[in-house]
Structures are given as C-alpha cells and as structure tokens.
Structure 1
Amino acid sequence: MALTPAQRHRARVLAEKAQAESPFGIELKGSAYELMLAKLAGDKRTLKNLESVQLKRQAKAKLLPDYLPWIEGAITQGQGGRDDVFTATMVWAIDAGAYGLALRMAAYVLQHKLPLPDNYQRGTAALLLDEYADSYLRGQWQALRLGTDDEGQPALVPDDTHPAEHLTALAGLTQGLDAPDQARAKLLKATAYAMLGKVQTAETPKLDGLPPQTLADVHALLVQALHLDALSGVKKDIERIERKQRALAAPAVTPEAAPAETKASAKRAPAATVPTAKAAVRGAAKKPRTPKT
C-alpha cells in the first residue's frame, strides 16, 4: 500500500534524523533504521519468490517509491554512516532502470565510501560499471525516472534521456576510481554503441548521416576500450569508422573541380579522336577482303 503524503513526510523526517545522528563509518542505529531493515528483508523475500528476472525488475520498480523518503533523507542529511538499506536500494534502482536516481545515490555512496551489502562481491565502482554497461549491451535498457502515477502517487515513469547521457555521467562519476580494466572498457563500448544507435557487437552500425565530430568521439571511446581490453570486441567497429572517416576526408573529383589546363586541353582535342560507339561496332563488323590470286 502506498504511503500517504503525511506518512511520506514523517518517513522523510525520521530518515533525516537517523542519518544526522549517525557519524561517518558507523552503521546506522535507531528504530527508524531497524524498521527500514525489516521492510527491506520482507521485500527481499518477496523478490526471492519470483523466478523471472523481468518480473523481479518490475517488482523493484514498484517497491522503490516506498524507499524514496529514506533515500532523500540520506542524500540531504547523511554523514556517511553505513546504511545497508541505501546501498541495497541503489542496486535495485539500477536493476529497475532508474538510472538517474541510481547515479544520485552512487555519488553519495562513492563520496562516503559506503560498503555494499555482504552479498555483493565487487567494489562499488566495478558494480556500477558492469551493471550499467551490461544493461545496455544486453538490450535491457528501459530507463525510468521519478514521477507520479495516475493517482498522483510517487512512481517510476518512462525516462526519455538518451542512454549515452547516463553512461557518460557514470564514466565521469567513476573516473579515477579503482575498477577492473574490462569493466571500464565495457562501459566505454556501451557508450560508443549508444551514440551509434547500436546494441549488439554483431550489428553493423549505420554511419551515414552521423556528424564527423560524433564519429571522432565514438572512435576515441572504442580505441580506449580496445586499449583497456584487447578482447572487448570493438576492432571491426574501429575499422568501419576509420574507413568512413577516410571517405569523408577524400576530396570529391568533379568537372568543376578539374584543373583549368585539363579543361582547356579537353576543349582543344578533336572530336574524331574519340570514336563513337556505333563506329566502333561497324569497324568490328567489317570482314577483311581476300586478295585476288
């Protein structure tokens, strides 16, 4: 059941109070945090009963609005206390497609170096790079943003932000952080593919009509990806773009662009020097005369 405006306000106040009273590096305490942990545990049991990954994503999108007061309280008043509710729902936001919300949450997690829940075996930067890139490259990118439903209740609604914007924002957020080269190469590849309108590696991108600067930007991303991971699968795309760039750079040869001397020579040349097609056919058809004996 969705929270009423009064309940959301009270939840936000309690979240801010709990965050403000929890110093950096120490796990949050208090009844408000205990209640949120209990809710998280119950929602996890609900998700565990679902076998379909797609249904899990949809369920997380419906559950997340209940956590928004807690999330906003942490972002605005948090001092870096360990918060398993916040970090778990950050991952849920990525899974649900709420990429903009997840980026805001990730900025707080990275700033305060919050540890992920124990069931996650990767560092935060690696997790973010992998999850965002995989979502795009596996064709599962369905972005959502914060909004309201038909009844005016907080909900996640379709987000028309271009995928490359979210992916580029994540690259900036994680720049300089320690993460596997393969994960960073995968994000570079996903960003380049998003700019090309391509998803799968085997697809041939449509390069016609793309501005030269876009081609240059995509080429730079793919070269970086290949440098970080020789098995990133971007070599053919780099070659395609380089061929297109060479074609765009080659000057087009037209009669108007021909040198003046060549034009003049062509005018002086007698017409008879270039036989017509009919004349050539007649000449080939004549039989040689047999000399008289």
Structure 2
Amino acid sequence: MALTPAQRHRARVMAEKAQAASPFGIELQGSDYQLMLAKLATDKRTLKTLQSVQLKRQTKAQLLPEYLPWIEGALSKGQGARDDVFTTTMVWAIDAGAYGLALRMAAYVLQHKLPLPDQYQRGAAAVLLDEYADAYLRGQWQPLRPGTDEKGQPALVADETHPAEHLTALAGLTTGQDAPDQARAKLLKATAYALLGKIQTAEDPQLDGLPPEILGDVLALLVQALHLDAQSGVKKDIERIERKQRALANPASPASQAVQAATDQAGTPTATADTAKPKPATAAGRGKPAAKPARRPAAKTGNAAKT
C-alpha cells in the first residue's frame, strides 16, 4: 500500500528516533523497530509463496519503496546498531536491481561491521561480491533507482548508470574486507566484461574500436581475477586482448591481419592463402618445370599469456 507524504515523513522520523536511541554494537531498540520487523516478516512470507525467481525480484522492487523512509533514517542518523530490517532490504535492493541504493546501504553496513541475518550464512562483503557479480554475469542486470511513478508515488525507476560504474564502486567499498578469493575474482571478471560489453564467458568481445587504455584496464582486471582464481574462466579473454595489444603496437600486413582475425574467431591460427603450406606443384606438361612454392612468411612471436 502506497504511503501518503505525511505517512512517509512520519516513518522517516520514526526511523531516525529509533536509530538515534540505539548505540553501536547492540540490536536496534524500540517499538518502531518491532513494527518494522513485523512488516518484514509479513513481506517475507509473501515472497515465500512465489516460485518464480523473476517474480520474486519484481515483488521486492514493488515492496522496497515502502522501506525507503526507514532506510534513509538509518543512513542519516544510524550509529551502527544491529538492524535486520536494514540489512535484509540491502540484499533485496540488489535482487531488485537497485544497485546504487544498495551501494549506499553497503557502505553503512561495512563501516559499522553489521552482521547479516543468519539466513545468508556469509559475511556482508562476500554476499555483496557474489550478488553483484552474479547479477551481471547471469544476464540479470536490470538497474533501477529510487524515483516516482506516474502518480507521483515513490517507486523504483530505470537507472541509466553504466554497469561498470556500480561494479567498480563495489570493488572500492570491499577493498580490505575479508571475502573468498573466488568471489572477488568473479567481481573483477564481471567488471572487465562490463567494460567490454560482454556477458557470457563464451562470447567473443568486439575489441575493434576500444581505446588502448580501456584494453589495458580490462587486461589488468582479468589478470587479477586469474591470479585470485585459476578457474575463473578468463584465460581466453586475456589471450585475445594481448593479441589485440600486439597488433595495435605492430600494425601487420593484410595477410597477417587475416591470420589475426581468424585466430580471434577460432582461438587457434587458421591457414590463409599466404600461410597455408602449398601442395606440391605438378608440371603442366612433360619437360615443363613446376612452379616454385611461395616462401612461407616467418611467424611473429610474442609473450604467452600468464596462466
């Protein structure tokens, strides 16, 4: 049910009072917090009745505006008291696609070392890294931000922020936080793929037209991901980018460029008219010498990608 402006203001004031009265390190106190916990329990029961993951995400996006006054109250007056409403809705915000809002909430959670509810079974940093990376790498990235609908009511609306911006911001927030290497590697991979405009590992990224500095940034992210997790699935991408960098540094002949294009497409060098080993020539007639085969151009060498 949509709140009136007066109700939203009262909810914000309630949240600020509850936060201000609860110091760091203890669970949030007061009847207002208990009311929000009761609402959260009701909404969680509603979500449990849904089987579709996509429908659950859409429902969370519809529910989140009702929690915005509480969230803003915590962000403005919170002292770090444990707040299961805040931490749960932070994860809901990620599921719903409100990545910018979730980043603001994540900064507060990480600053005060707030634990997540027991159901998540992981620390906040690990959950954040996994959820953001999975949202992008699974093709579920549909960003939203707090705004208003056509009736002027609070709602989540489309967010035009580039995925790499949100992913990079999360990497900065979680620097120094304890989390599994695999989760951090996955975020690095997702950020690199976002810069390339790529989602699936098997996709061949379109490297033509990308500025050299972007290629360098992407390569650095992928190398870091591989260092943290040898099974991160980025080796082929590293090889493609290193080949592209060598090609940009040493412009080749048209024939060599054809080899490069075939290599990028197939993953291994493909024979061309200039590089294929010629079949033995036969004389057109007795006593007529066969044409000599074309000399095979020397293959260029380069440093192999670190694996």
| Common fold by TM > 0.5 | yes
Structure 1 runs of 4+ aligned residues shifted over 3 Å read 251-254
Distance 2:120 2:88 in 1: 10
What residue identity is the alignment partner of 2:21? E
Distance 1:180 1:28 in 2: 29
Q: What's the CA shift string for 1:189-240, capped at 9, x where partnerless?
A: 0000000000000001000000000000000000000000000000000000
Distance 1:37 1:92 in 2: 15
Which structure dedicates a bigger proportion of its chain to helix? 1
Q: Tell me, which stretches of 5 or more residues in structure 1 are unaligned?
A: 255-283, 289-293
* 1:4 counterpart residue number: 4
Deviation at 1:253, TM superposition (A): 6.9
When the two structures are aligned, how many residues end up with a matched partner? Answer: 259
* 2:79 counterpart residue number: 79
Distance 1:117 1:25 in 2: 15
What residue identity is the alignment partner of 1:148? T
* 1:270 counterpart residue number: none
Deviation at 1:251, TM superposition (A): 4.2
Matched, 1:167 2:167: yes
Superposition TM-score, scaled by structure 2 size: 0.82
What residue identity is the alignment partner of 2:53? V
Distance 2:129 2:251 in 1: 41
* 2:102 counterpart residue number: 102
Distance 1:109 1:253 in 2: 56
Q: Tell me, which stretches of 5 or more residues in structure 2 are unaligned?
A: 255-283, 289-307
Distance 2:90 2:168 in 1: 18
* 2:278 counterpart residue number: none
* 2:115 counterpart residue number: 115
* 1:139 counterpart residue number: 139
What residue identity is the alignment partner of 1:208? D
Deviation at 1:29, TM superposition (A): 1.2
- Equivalent residues in 2 for 1:1-293, closer than 5 Å: 1-251=1-251
* DSSP-derived class of the 2:223 partner: helix
What residue identity is the alignment partner of 1:144? L
Which has the larger Rg? 1
What residue identity is the alignment partner of 1:195? L
Identity of aligned residues (%): 83
Distance 2:21 2:30 in 1: 9
* DSSP-derived class of the 1:79 partner: coil
Superposition TM-score, scaled by structure 1 size: 0.86
Distance 1:157 1:222 in 2: 32
Deviation at 1:252, TM superposition (A): 5.6
